[in-house]
Amino acid sequence: MCGIAGQIRFDGRSVEREVLERMCAAIEHRGPDSRGVHLENGVGLGIQRLRIIDLHTGDQPIYNEDRSVVTVLNGEIYNYRELRERLERSGHEFATQTDTEVIVHLYEEEGPDFVRSLHGMFAFALWDERRRRLVLARDRVGKKPLFYAERNGVLSFGSELNAVMQDPELSREVDHGALDSYLAFRWVPTPQSAFRAVRKLPPASTLVMEDGRSTIAPYWSLDYGPKLEVGDLAEFHERVRSEIRAATARRLVADVPLGAFLSGGVDSSAVVAAMAESTAQPVKTFSIGFTSDGYNELPLARVVAERFGTEHHEFVVEPKAMEILPKIVRHHGEPFADSSSIPSFYVAQIARRHVTVALNGDGGDETFGGYTRYVSNMALRRTESIPRPLRRALPSLARALPRSGRVDSWPSRLRRVAFTLALDPSARYTAYMTRLNGMDRDELYTPEYRELVGASRVPDVMGVPWRESSGRSAIDVMLDVDVSTYLTDDLLVKMDIASMASSLEARSPLLDHRFMEFAASVPSHLKVRGTEKKVGLRGAMRGWVPDEVLDAPKRGFRAPIADWFREELRDYAYEVLLDPATTGRGHFRADYVRRLLDRHTAGIEDHSQGIWTLLNYELWHREFVDRGAPTALAQQR
Task: Provide, for the chain, the percentages of residues in helix, strand and coil under a 3-state DSSP scheme, each rounded to the nearest 5.
Answer: 50, 15, 35
Report the C-alpha gap between 421 and 321 in whole angstroms: 39
Among positive and negative, which fits the CA dihedral 391, 392, 397, 401?
positive
- For residues 329 and 624, give the distance between their C-alpha atoms in angstroms, rounded to a whole number: 9
Which residue, among 316, 251, 331, has the nearest Cα to 28 in the 3D structure?
331
Per-residue pLDDT band for 293 (boundaries 50, 70, 90) equals: low
In the chain, the largest separation of any two C-alpha atoms, in whole Å, equals 74
Q: How many residues does the chain have?
A: 637
Is residue 284 exposed (0-12), middle (13-18) or buried (19+ Cβ within 10 Å)?
buried
Q: What percent of the chain has pLDDT over 90?
A: 79
Q: What is the DSSP letter of 445?
A: B
> What CA–CA distances, in Å, run from 164 to 23, 46, 169, 268?
7, 12, 10, 34
| Contact status, residue 315 vs residue 346, Cβ threshold 8 Å | yes
pLDDT band, residue 399 (cuts 50/70/90): low
At 636, is the pLDDT very low, low, confident or very high (cuts 50, 70, 90)?
A: very low
- d(C-alpha 436, C-alpha 417), whole Å: 11
Beta bridge partners of 150: 155
Task: Say which of 1, 2, 155, 317 is annotated catalytic.
Answer: 2
- Spatial neighbors of 468 by CB under 8 A, at least 6 apart, are none
Residues facing residue 214 across a β-bridge: 209
Sheet with 62-63, edge to edge strand ranges = 62-63, 69-77, 120-128, 133-138, 205-210, 213-218
pLDDT of residue 394: 62
Q: How far apart are CA 222 and CA 53, in angstroms?
A: 29
Domain ranges of the chain: 2-218, 233-369+479-551
Rounded CA-CA distance 556/562 in Å is 14
Question: Looking at residues 243-268, what average pLDDT do you find?
Answer: 94
Distance between alpha carbon 478 and the CA centroid of its chain, in Å?
A: 17
Nearest alpha carbon to residue 30 among 541, 602, 544, 497: 497
Contacts of 543 (CB under 8 A, 6+ apart): none
Query: How high is the pLDDT of residue 297?
Result: 81
Q: d(Cα 370, Cα 551) in Å, to the nearest integer?
A: 13
Mean pLDDT is lowest, of 104-108, 270-274, 356-360, 406-410, for 406-410
Burial of 48 (0-12, 13-18, 19+ CB in 10 A): buried
Q: How confident is the model at residue 264 (pLDDT cuts 50, 70, 90)?
A: confident
Pick the CATH number of 233-369+479-551 from 3.40.50.620, 3.30.70.100, 3.10.20.30, 3.50.90.10: 3.40.50.620
469: three-class secondary structure by DSSP: coil
Question: 396: closest CA among 368, 422, 371, 363?
Answer: 422
CA 54-56-57 angle, to 5 degrees, is: 75
Q: What is the pLDDT at residue 448?
A: 97
From the list 240, 231, 228, 276, the residue with the least C-alpha distance to 539 is: 240
The band of 554, judged by pLDDT with boundaries at 50, 70 and 90, is confident
Residues 13-19: contacts with CB under 8 Å, at least 24 apart? 13/42, 14/42, 15/39, 15/42, 15/43, 15/44, 16/44, 17/44, 19/44, 19/166, 19/167, 19/168
Interstrand relation of 284-290 and 311-317 (parallel, antiparallel or unpaired): parallel
Residue 487 has pLDDT above 90, yes or no: yes
Long-range contacts of 92-96 (CB under 8 A, 24+ apart): 92/65, 93/65, 95/57, 96/54, 96/57, 96/58, 96/62
Nearest to 260, CA basis, from 311, 321, 316: 311
561 vs 609: CA distance, rounded Å: 8
- Write down the mean pLDDT value for the chain: 92
For the segment 426-484, what is each residue's pLDDT rounded down to a tens digit?
988 998 888 756 789 999 999 999 999 999 999 999 999 999 999 999 999 999 999 99
- E strands, 415-554, are 505-507, 528-529, 532-533
Minimum mean pLDDT range among 16-30, 72-86, 108-122, 399-413: 399-413
Dist CA 634 CA 32 (whole Å): 10
Beta-strand pair 120-128/62-63: unpaired
| Residue type at position 288 | I
Please compute, for residue 614, the number of CA atoms within 13 A of its CA located in the half-sphere on the CB side. Answer: 33
pLDDT at 481: 98
Q: What is the DSSP string of 207-219?
A: EEEETTEEEEEE-
Quick one: which of 338, 369, 361 has its CA closest to 478? 369
Q: How far apart are CA 271 and CA 38, in angstroms?
A: 38
Could you tell me how many helices (H) and strands (E) the chain has, helices first? 28, 19
Per-residue pLDDT reduced to its tens digit, 142-158: 999 999 999 999 999 99
Residue range 2-218, CATH number: 3.60.20.10
| pLDDT score at 376 | 84
Does residue 633 carry a pLDDT above 50? no
Q: What is the DSSP letter of 55?
A: T
Question: In this structure, are residues 166 and 19 in contact, taking their beta carbons and an 8 Å threshold?
Answer: yes
What is the pTM (predicted TM-score) of this model?
0.94
Determine the average pLDDT of the residues in 554-580. 88
Distance CA 485, CA 463 (A): 11
- Residue 2 catalytic? yes
> What CA–CA distance (Å, rounded) separates 485 from 482?
5
- At residue 586, the 3 state secondary structure works out as coil
Is there a contact between 376 and 531 (Cβ–Cβ < 8 Å)? no
Dist CA 324 CA 619 (whole Å): 12
Residue-wise pLDDT tens digits, 305-322: 999 999 999 998 887 767
Q: H or E segment at 241?
A: helix 233-250
Name the region of 523 (left: φ>0; alpha: ψ -120 to 50; beta: rest): beta
529 phi, psi to nearest 5 deg: -140, 110
The DSSP result for 389-438, as a single string, is: HHHHHHHHHHTTSPP-S-TTSHHHHHHHHHHHTTS-HHHHHHHHHHGGG-
